[in-house]
Amino acid sequence: MCYWRGLPSFHWGLCTSCSCHMSNRKTRRTLQMLWTVKVDGGPKRVNHAAVGIGDKIYSFGGYCSGEIYDGSQPIDVHVLDTVTYRWKKVEVQNDESEQAAAAANSILSQPSPFQRYGHTVVAYKGKAYLWGGRNDEFGASSKLHEFDPVSRTWSVVSINGPPPLARDGHSAVVIGDCMYMFGGFEEETQRFSCETYFFNFKTRRWSELRTHGAVPQWRDFHTACAIGEKMYVFGGRSDQLGQFHSSRDVYCDKLRVLDTKTGRWEEPPVSGVRPCGRRSHSSWAYNGRIYIFGGYLGTENKHFGDLWEYDPAKATWKLCWPEGERPCPRRRQCTVLIGSRLFLFGGTRPCKDVKHDPFHSGLADLSDLYVLDYAPSLKDLAAISIINSDLFMTKDCPLPVELQWDLLMMIKPNQITVPRHDG
């Protein structure tokens, strides 16, 4: 047994800080990272988009299989308090008369974006910016919308010059004063994209970034994240016909890096193991490293629940196994980093119970929330031990009621999505 921060820490395999003599295991526990929270009952959504502003996470749109949507309605917004782990639906303060229009030309000119999926949202100076995405009624959009979390209002950003073609399944990151957008599936041309565009928030102008080098092939539903002035792109769905969709999917397992200052794409040499290609996964950057979780490999009909770490300094991938209750394999989920905590929620998983039902998609949408803590404090570790004890929330529990309530928030289900029992 080893000790970490004064508490016993059980390892899977041989760790780097001690000799546990358990190297007969094929995997090892990843020190410091720890799954700390699992709460159900949040918004049941897939292909949604989310962003962190302050200590709140705002989730926009997406859909839930089996629910009937009015594509003309404004996109729904939910907010998560990352202190209490409570979800709430945001009541947007827009003129109701503007939202009542039913004609397509009125819907597309409203300040609130219509309900959609496959869009992106980024944060810049305390506001959220939503671009792209589509629904089955109105198709894709190329308008840039701004959401103010203080006033809870939407507005359409006035831009200089034409925007990129409307699309879904693209990626977007903020570097400096610009939002960089890559890839996706263009609705007008019915093609996958491999172009990079950027929106300058100061000049409010869209421009195409002229790139060179190891440009990634056409793709959608990949991920991108930023470290410094570089954008890291991984995964996504391509096609054997290149930029055109033929349902003969290709999944790339190579990491591509774009230097946004020079426009040069690179494929860094990677030694050792690496994650296989996938789409609809999640990625984020923390402490100078890239992480990816989950996703789907269509050629093998396989969902993933793995967590990988890429170290740019060493050009190596590592499979991580944090302790705690980890999320099930899934795709189309959201992840948002707040400080040293990674919040993962929603998505869809394979449902084995209906595998042979021709009228069922074979997928079950999720409303759960998980928290991966990169630097759990002694208080966090003590809280987990108390929650797992036999005395928690009993009349014999010695803790003050207020403290018991704080701990209860780490496991108490939300009420945004209430479980159904009608079959």
Closest C-alpha among 320, 239, 309, 240 to residue 279: 239
Which pLDDT tens digit goes with each residue over 204-242? Answer: 999 999 999 999 999 999 999 999 999 999 999 999 999
Alpha helices in 142-301 (DSSP H): none
Cβ neighbours for 283, distance < 8 A, ≥ 6 positions apart: 223, 224, 225, 232, 234, 290, 291, 292, 293, 335
- Inform me whether the pLDDT recorded for 401 exceeds 80: no
Report residue 386 CA to chain centroid gap.
30
Q: What is the pLDDT of residue 29?
A: 47
Q: What strands lie across the sheet with 302-311, from one edge to the other?
A: 282-286, 289-297, 302-311, 316-320
- Residue 131 near residue 144, CB atoms below 8 Å: yes
**Tokens coding 52:** 């962190």
Average pLDDT over residues 360-368: 88
**Tokens coding 396:** 């014999």
The most confident of the ranges 3-7, 356-360, 379-383 is 379-383
Q: Quickly list DSSP for 100-147.
A: ---SHHHHTTSSSPBS-BS-EEEEETTEEEEE--EETTTEE---EEEE
Alpha-carbon span 364 to 327, nearest angstrom: 14
Q: Is 304 helix (H, G, I), strand (E, B) or coil?
A: strand
Please provide residue 120's backbone torsions phi and psi, each rounded to the nearest 5 degrees: -125, 155
Cβ neighbours for 175, distance < 8 A, ≥ 6 positions apart: 226, 228, 229, 231, 260
355 band by pLDDT with thresholds 50, 70 and 90 = low
Alpha-carbon span 351 to 260, nearest angstrom: 41
Q: Is 288 helix (H, G, I), strand (E, B) or coil?
A: coil
Q: What is the pLDDT of residue 360?
A: 61
- Inform me whether the pLDDT recorded for 374 exceeds 50: yes
Which pLDDT tens digit goes with each residue over 78-133? Answer: 999 999 999 999 999 864 444 444 344 455 567 899 999 999 999 999 999 999 99
**Tokens coding 278:** 């996938």
Would you say the pTM of this structure is higher than 0.75?
yes
Q: Is 210 helix (H, G, I), strand (E, B) or coil?
A: coil
Closest C-alpha among 213, 319, 227 to residue 263: 213
Residue 397 amino acid letter: C
385 band by pLDDT with thresholds 50, 70 and 90 = confident
